[in-house]
Amino acid sequence: MKLRSAIYLASATLAFAALTFASTLPSGAADKIDPVADAKAFQKFFTDKFPKVKYEDFVNGPYSMNEDLHRQWQEKEQFPPYEFSLEMGKEMFSKPFKNGKTYEDCFPNKGIGIRQNYPYFDEKEGKVITLELALNRCREANGEPPYSYVKDEMAALTAYMAFTSRGKPMDIKIPDDPRALAAYENGKEYFYTRRGQLNFSCATCHVQSPGERIRAEILAPALGIVNAMPIYRSEWSGMGTTSRRFTTCNSQIRGVPLSPQDDEYRNVEYFLSYVSNGLPISGPGARP
């Protein structure tokens, strides 16, 4: 009897404690999706953590975190390794398809200077549309086979589109649509969820530890990380798209990557781009 009453008492105290704890939280803060507040808090986290880094410099990934690397990169930028790809992209972009149309016909403003608006939420379809996806849809609509999402032609095209948008602030909008908010929230959840044998989330490296080394690499901050896409990685000896970055990140933590342009990857890109709103497009980038 004595034991049982002790348990009653303890659980009653616990319940009471939980109640008082809950009442100290601002009402409903836990379950309300508030991208504006998220983005503000996200950016503040990085600017507080790295007070010496200039705001626009966050888009330069590891170079914003390390002075030596920054100097090497500036020298490299005189002869950027993505130049060949960029030239190829420019050529491909205006070259007509078999039916005479070009990529220009698929995009607003003929595809020039619009990188900062991608990914966007398509209210008709109820899903996030990335630039890579839009490019392949453009090809398919014109009777051309789609490109691989990870490198080569796709990277060349996005490189050219990013190049024409350099310096424009990322401008992702979340329409007043519960599905758009859900997509954003799903992307955020993916970003912060641990996975893989190494039990890493995206945030483990890119929020908790930017500027730290992971083996020989210096980790880039998540803030502005998508602004530099696509990138030439010396490690890959070639170009890679956002899709390539997501899938290789997942396999590096010994997780099973989703297929490129999976709904969840699109949502992550949506989340990451939204919280980087205001930072300039710097792609195509070059990374070690």
Instruction: Provide the minimum distance between the beta carbon of 87 and another protein in the complex, in angstroms, as a whole number.
Output: 6
If phi > 0 it is left, if psi is from -120 to 50 it is alpha, else beta; for residue 100 that is left
By CB under 8 A, how many residues form the interface with another protein? Answer: 8
**Catalytic residue of the set 106, 138, 205, 249:** 249
Near another protein by CB under 8 A, which window of 77-85, 117-125, 132-140, 218-226?
A: 77-85
Is residue 249 part of the annotated active site? The answer reads: yes
Q: Tell me which of 19, 67, 79, 216 binds another protein, using CB under 8 A.
A: 79
CA distance 6 to 27: 33
Q: Which of 84, 94, 141, 173 binds another protein (CB under 8 A)?
A: 84
Binding status of residue 217 toward another protein by CB under 8 A = no
Strands 120-122 and 127-129: antiparallel
C-beta of 74 vs 208, nearer to another protein: 74
Q: Does 87 bind another protein (CB under 8 A)?
A: yes
Beta bridge partners of 171: none
Site string for another protein, 227-266 (x = CB under 8 A): ----------xx----------------------------
Q: What amino acid is encoded at 13 in this protein?
A: T
- For 6-20, b where at least 16 C-beta lie within 10 A, e where not — what string? eeeeeeeeeeeeeee
Our CB check for another protein shows the closer of 138 and 155 to be 155
* Amino acid type, 136: N
Minimum CB distance to another protein smaller for 91 or for 263: 91
- Contact call for residues 263 and 119 (beta carbons, < 8 A): no
Phi/psi region, residue 169 (left: phi>0; alpha: psi -120 to 50; beta: rest), is: beta
What lies within 8 Å, CB to CB, of 242 at 6+ separation is 130, 132, 226, 229, 230, 269
Q: Name which position in 78, 100, 124, 125 contacts another protein (CB under 8 A).
A: 78
As a whole number of angstroms, the distance between CA 212 and CA 205 comes to 9
Q: Which is nearer to another protein, 85 or 116 (CB)?
A: 85
- Residue 81 in the binding site for another protein (CB under 8 A): yes
Tell me which stretch binds another protein (CB under 8 A): 79-87, 119-127, 195-203, 264-272.
79-87
What is the rounded distance in angstroms from the CA atom of residue 258 to the CA atom of residue 161?
Answer: 25
**Contact (CB, 8 A) for 162 and 284:** yes
Q: Do 223 and 279 contact (CB within 8 A), yes or no?
A: yes
The residue among 87 and 177 lying less far from another protein, judged by its C-beta, is 87
Question: For residues 74 and 99, which CB has a smaller minimum distance to another protein in the complex?
Answer: 74
* Residues designated catalytic: 249
User: Where does this chain bind another protein (CB under 8 A)?
Assistant: 78-79, 81, 83-84, 87, 237-238
